[in-house]
Amino acid sequence: MLLIKKQAVHMSGFLLFSNYLLCYGHLMKRIYRSKTNKVWAGIFGGLGEYFNVDPTLLRLGWLSLVVVSGFIPGFIVYIISILIVPRAPESAK
């Protein structure tokens, strides 16, 4: 497999190409919090970029789930996802 990109970052045996990670010969797509498409923390913007879906639809789905299931669990999951999902690196779109 030949992958050519202008910027690659080497991190402890892994190569990071924009939103992709080359690990053991396999190209894995990474999820990041979006820097450009965000309302609060960029979680749904990052999910939209990862799944190639409009983030507004994801936000509306999350809002409806939060209203139906109760506000506290939805906000706890959102806060945990802010802590777990990393910010997009400078080279990622």
pLDDT score of 79: 93
The structural domains of the chain, with segments of one domain joined by +, span 1-30, 31-93
Please check the confidence at residue 93 and state whether its pLDDT lies above 60.
no
pLDDT at 9: 47
- d(C-alpha 74, C-alpha 80), whole Å: 10
pLDDT single digits (tens) 1-48? 444 443 444 444 444 455 555 556 666 778 888 888 888 888 999 999
Neighbours of 49 (CB within 10 A): 22
Question: Is residue 56's pLDDT more than 90?
Answer: yes
pTM score above 0.75: no
